[in-house]
Amino acid sequence: MDSLEQHEWRVKWSLLGLLIALLLAILTSVSVGPMDISMSDAYRILLSGLGLDAGEVERHLATIINAIRLPRSLLAVLVGAALAVSGAAIQGVFRNPLADPGLIGISGGAALAAVSMIVFGGSALAVVTEVLGQYALMFTAFLGGFAATLVVANIATSRLGVSITTMLLAGIAINIVTGAGIGIMTYMADDVQLRTLTFWQMGSLGGATWDVVLAAGSVIAIVIVMIPRYALGLNALLLGESEARHLGIDVRRVRRNIILLSAVAVGASVAVSGMIGFVGLVVPHIIRLALGPDHRYLLPASALAGALFLLIADMIARTLIAPAELPIGLITSIIGGPFFIALIVMRARQGGGI
């Protein structure tokens, strides 16, 4: 067995390990909360939820898990996977390990649209609220992320193709504009809206219902399945744009589809959970350090690790100051920021690259 085969075995075992850890974390997550439910009860309830006969469990416990905790855990899994896999793919497209969906304006556009909806949902944008009901926020956030991405992509595209530098600069400009827009909304908001808006910006999975999980989940699931199809193209892109083309990769198609898919996933995530930082940047980074940059493994591993990370962060958010609840975006940033700094310092001391 040569060194590459050994590496591949290690990667495959790691993927399996991540999957098992994720399943265990889901089980733990549904048993943790104000009402203590034992892991074995939780296990039986989840199995009977899958239509398997697992013995009798008290009905009110099953209700707590099925109606409240399970949708929330699944939403954490979906959003975490979506943010991490988009982060990994965007870093590949930009050939820059420090890129993330926020950098090219996706998150900013989604946030501005969502904040506008929070502030004007009852007045100027009442039509949208009427037509879309509870999906209004999600849909507008998604549109906002999408629109920002299109603007940035159009600015960066010329007759000669797409300039990555121009795209990053356009992203910075878009972020300034959306930041100012959010500032204006904050200024115009009344007290109740201000509170909603502030908490929304700190991120929360508190809005998880089966409706939300199904709506966001169907969109995110498509993206998580689609993005790994471009793994080889992304690998080739890391060599360079021309090099990828010389290897027969349709660079324009790969880039366009990855950016669109990421916009969809991040738009949906921002819409259902607000601003949750650092997952898209830190998770792929850690996976790359542990398992290497090959996108065939990086993308699924990032999805699993992102889901696991957000699930754990949500457990901490729910239990740390129970019965109150911390915004999850704060948790991810508090864990993610220092962890990231530690990684950078370690790497720099070892004299390694990225």
Partner 1 sequence: MSLIVEHLCFDIGSKRLLDEVSFAVNPGEVVAVLGPNGAGKSTLLRVLAGEYRHFAGDLSLNGQRYENWGTHDIARMVGVLPQHTTLMFPFSVFEVVLMGRMPHATGRVRDREIAKAALERVDMSHHISSSFPSLSGGEKQRVQLARVLAQIWDAAEQPRYLLLDEPTSALDLAHQHHVLALAQSLAQEGVGVMAILHDLNLAAQYADRLVLLEQGRVKTQGSVEQALDPDILESLFGIAVDVVPHPSQSWPLVVAR
- Kindly list the residues in this chain that would bind partner 1 in the complex (CB under 8 A): 2-4, 7, 95, 97, 159-160, 232, 235-236, 238-240, 242-243, 245-250, 288, 292-294, 352-354
Q: Which is nearer to partner 1, 9 or 131 (CB)?
A: 9
Q: Which is nearer to partner 1, 84 or 249 (CB)?
A: 249
Q: Which is nearer to partner 1, 45 or 234 (CB)?
A: 234
Round the CA-based radius of gyration of the chain to a whole number and report it: 21
Rounded-to-integer distance, Cα 221 and Cα 294, Å: 22
Residue with tokens 């109150």: 324
Q: Could you tell me the smallest distance in angstroms from the CB atom of residue 4 to partner 1?
A: 5
Rounded-to-integer distance, Cα 334 and Cα 341, Å: 11
Rounded-to-integer distance, Cα 136 and Cα 125, Å: 10
Q: Which is nearer to partner 1, 3 or 165 (CB)?
A: 3
Q: Which is nearer to partner 1, 54 or 289 (CB)?
A: 289
Q: Could you tell me the smallest distance in angstroms from the CB atom of residue 258 to partner 1?
A: 16
Q: Could you tell me the smallest distance in angstroms from the CB atom of residue 182 to partner 1?
A: 33
Q: Could you tell me the smallest distance in angstroms from the CB atom of residue 261 to partner 1?
A: 21
Q: Could you tell me the smallest distance in angstroms from the CB atom of residue 287 to partner 1?
A: 12
Rounded-to-integer distance, Cα 332 and Cα 330, Å: 6
Cα–Cα distances in Å, from 57 out to 42, 48, 52, 62, 67? 9, 10, 13, 7, 15
Q: Could you tell me the smallest distance in angstroms from the CB atom of residue 243 to partner 1?
A: 6
How far is Cα of residue 65 from the mean position of the Cα atoms in its chain? 24
Q: Which residues lie below 8 Å from residue 107, measured CB to CB, with a gap of 6+? A: 101, 145, 266, 270, 275
Q: Which is nearer to partner 1, 249 or 307 (CB)?
A: 249
Q: Which is nearer to partner 1, 47 or 238 (CB)?
A: 238
Q: Could you tell me the smallest distance in angstroms from the CB atom of residue 8 to partner 1?
A: 10
Q: Write b or e for each residue in 221-240: b if 16 or more Cβ atoms lie within 10 A of its Cβ, otherwise e.
A: eebbebbbebbbbbbbbeee
Q: Which is nearer to partner 1, 201 or 235 (CB)?
A: 235
Q: What are phi and psi of 324, to 5 degrees?
A: -75, 175
Q: Which is nearer to partner 1, 85 or 249 (CB)?
A: 249
Cα–Cα distances in Å, from 290 out to 11, 86, 99, 284, 286? 9, 19, 19, 10, 6
